[in-house]
Structure 1
Amino acid sequence: MSDWERSSTARVVPPARPRKLAKVPFVELADGRLQGVVSSGSDIGRVYVSSVTAGTYAFACSTNNNRPCGGARGSFCNHILAMVTEAVLQYGAERVARYLRVEPGDEVTAQTITAEMLRTRPAQGDTSAAATVFSQFLRHLAYLELTATTTPLPEMQWFPPTRAVV
């Protein structure tokens, strides 16, 4: 058993390339979707929760207080486009394309991934996951405010105890 398998922390895969967090502070490949939080371009206090479902490319975008995005009517809005671009920076174009089940051709970029998804004319999807995605984002922010320590965190106590190596 390797050291990381015996620890109570998960391995963190470094980003494919460094990215700026001001526009898209949170992006993840989870629950069968590319999902994230995108800052508003016009209001510093507003963020949008955006997602694209793998395979069907059904998309959703709404504000943090569950108001629909005005730009996501019939096609991807600028928030979704920014999220795809940042996901490619975070995870790499090939991984994002594979996760979303997109076959963009020879050159795999955020633009070719987006173009291939739009070619299928995706439908506007359900925004019910927005609350979960936004709460995950807030949880990540809370961890950033913690001071560095080696003491256990109570919310991490569900991990099974590790076996002593003899």
Structure 2
Amino acid sequence: MSVWEKSSTARVVPPARPRKLAKVPFVELADGRLQGVVSSGSDVGRVYVSSVAAGSYAFSCSTNNNRPCGGARGMFCNHIRALVGEAVLQYGAERVARYLKVEDEGAADAHALTSAMTASGPGSADSSAAAQVFSRFLRHLAYLELPVTTGPVPEMQWFPTTRAVAA
């Protein structure tokens, strides 16, 4: 067991590059998928919940009220492409490619990743994760509404710290 597994803190991996949160406020590599929330380009009150499964590249894109995305009909829509782009900024192209099991060694950026996934044929639509992803996003937003305090916040005790853990 490594040192970080024995401690109550977790190592934080800094973003590969800074992200602007207006277009893609939530992106994560979790549950065997790249998943997140993408803002609508035409309606400020609408967001899209998008995901791509690792290995099969089965994808999903729908609004926050479960209406399917009009652009995700048999191919990646612009929301999924934006999600991949922001994931590359957050985690780096190599880590995203490894997580999604993209075989193309030359996939060094978001465009190359989406091209490699679409070349092998994206999998069928899979909207089963949309509610779970949107719920996780809302839970993360709830932390922004906590009152400002300098004391400990019990709900935040599990958050990772950037302090070095002594060996």
Root-mean-square deviation (CA), in Å?
Answer: 2.1
Aligned length: 156
Listed one character per residue, the Cα deviations across residues 13-42 of structure 1 (whole Å, up to 9, x for unaligned) are 210000100000000000000000000000
Residue 151 of structure 1 corresponds to 152
Residue 87 of structure 1 corresponds to 87
Residues 1:6 and 2:7 are matched in the alignment: yes
Mark the CA change 1:37 to 1:107 in structure 2 (over 3 Å): closer, same or farther.
Answer: closer
SS at match of 1:97: helix
TM-score after normalising by structure 2: 0.85
Mapped contact 1:4–1:11 kept (Cα < 8 A): no
Mapped contact 2:22–2:39 kept (Cα < 8 A): yes
Instruction: Supply the AA of the counterpart residue of 1:151.
Output: P
C-alpha displacement of 1:5: 4.7
C-alpha separation in 2, matches of 1:106 and 1:121: 18
Q: How does 1:9-158 map to 2 (within 5 A)?
A: 9-146=9-146, 147-154=148-155
Alignment gaps of 5+ in structure 2:
159-167
Identical aligned pairs, as a percentage?
A: 71
C-alpha separation in 2, matches of 1:108 and 1:82: 16
C-alpha separation in 1, matches of 2:30 and 2:62: 18
Instruction: Supply the AA of the counterpart residue of 1:28.
Output: E
TM-score after normalising by structure 1: 0.86
C-alpha displacement of 1:154: 4.9
Residue 163 of structure 2 corresponds to none
C-alpha displacement of 1:149: 4.3
The farther-off stretch of 139-148 and 108-117 is 139-148
Instruction: Supply the AA of the counterpart residue of 1:153.
Output: P
C-alpha separation in 2, matches of 1:11 and 1:111: 29
C-alpha displacement of 1:114: 0.6
Mapped contact 1:73–1:124 kept (Cα < 8 A): no
Instruction: Supply the AA of the counterpart residue of 1:57.
Output: Y
Instruction: Supply the AA of the counterpart residue of 1:72.
Output: A
Alignment gaps of 5+ in structure 1:
158-166
Listed one character per residue, the Cα deviations across residues 133-156 of structure 1 (whole Å, up to 9, x for unaligned) are 001001111112222444342586
C-alpha displacement of 1:3: 7.9
